[in-house]
A = this chain, B = another copy of it.
Amino acid sequence: MLALAPRSFVASSLVSQLQRTSLFANLPESAVNHFAEKAQVKHAAKGQVLFIQDDEAEWFYLVQSGWVKLFRETLEGAEAVIDVVSATHFFGEHALFTADRYSYSAQVVDKTHLVLMPLSLLRYHLEKTPQMAMNLLRHTAQQRELQSREMEHLAIQTATQRIGCFLLKLCPDTTHGGAQIHLPYDKTLIAARLGMKPETFSRALAKLKSDVNLKINGSTISVASIAALVEYTCNHCSSSFPCDDNS
Contact surface of A with B, Cβ cutoff 8 Å: 53, 72-76, 78-80, 82, 94, 96-99, 103-104, 126-127, 130, 133-134, 136-138, 140-145, 147-148, 150-152, 154-156, 195, 235-239, 246-247
Nearest Cβ on chain B to A149's Cβ, whole angstroms: 9
Provide the bound-state CA to CA distance between A8 and B16, in Å.
52
Nearest Cβ on chain B to A161's Cβ, whole angstroms: 10
Nearest Cβ on chain B to A244's Cβ, whole angstroms: 12
| B96 engages A238 (CB within 8 Å) | no
Nearest Cβ on chain B to A78's Cβ, whole angstroms: 5
Closest 8 CB pairs of A and B: A72-B238, A155-B195, A97-B141, A80-B152, A154-B154, A133-B133, A144-B144, A137-B137
| B94 engages A154 (CB within 8 Å) | no
| A138 engages B97 (CB within 8 Å) | yes
Provide the bound-state CA to CA distance between A24 and B170, in Å.
40
Known: A155-B195, A195-B155. A144 touches B142 (CB 8 A): no
Provide the bound-state CA to CA distance between A81 and B138, in Å.
23
| A156 engages B96 (CB within 8 Å) | no
* Extra 6 A-B pairs, beta carbons < 8 Å, given A75-B235, A140-B144: A53-B238, A75-B236, A80-B238, A97-B246, A144-B144, A154-B155
Known: A140-B140, A151-B151. A247 touches B99 (CB 8 A): yes
Q: Quick one: closest B residue to A152, CB to CB?
A: B80
Q: Please indicate the chain B residues that have their CB under 8 angstroms from the CB of A147 in the complex.
A: 144, 147-148, 151
Q: Please indicate the chain B residues that have their CB under 8 angstroms from the CB of A126 in the complex.
A: 134, 137
| B82 engages A148 (CB within 8 Å) | yes
Known: A133-B133, A136-B137, A137-B140. A80 touches B247 (CB 8 A): no
| A72 engages B152 (CB within 8 Å) | yes
Q: Please indicate the chain B residues that have their CB under 8 angstroms from the CB of A238 in the complex.
A: 53, 72-74, 80
Provide the bound-state CA to CA distance between A206 and B43, in Å.
52
Provide the bound-state CA to CA distance between A127 and B98, in Å.
25
